[in-house]
Amino acid sequence: MRLRADVSLVETEYGNVLLDERTGKYWELNPTGSFVLGELMSGGDTGAVTTRLTEEFEVDAERARSDVEALVAALVEARLVDR
């Protein structure tokens, strides 16, 4: 997964902010969302990212998988990423 060419990513003290330059909309990701996006952009699939999420944060596998899938769906729907 990678960000579309017209999406900028800025790291903040709290996480990341994505700017969709086509629409001018901002998307703020908390530290967990930023972690997931980073893992996905590094080539991880949702299964691997779910495993890493359970290792890094106090979250069970079912909740982690659900959260990863929800974030991916939201990013794709908003047209912020290419798979």
Domain-by-domain residue ranges, the chain?
2-82
* Reported pTM: 0.90
* Fold held by 2-82: Arc Repressor Mutant, subunit A (1.10.10)
Specify the pLDDT at position 83: 79
- Cα–Cα distance measured from residue 64 to residue 42, given in angstroms and rounded to the nearest whole number: 18
Mean pLDDT by 10 residues, the chain (83 residues): 96 95 95 95 94 93 96 96 88
- Strands lying side by side in the sheet with 25-29: 7-11, 16-20, 25-29
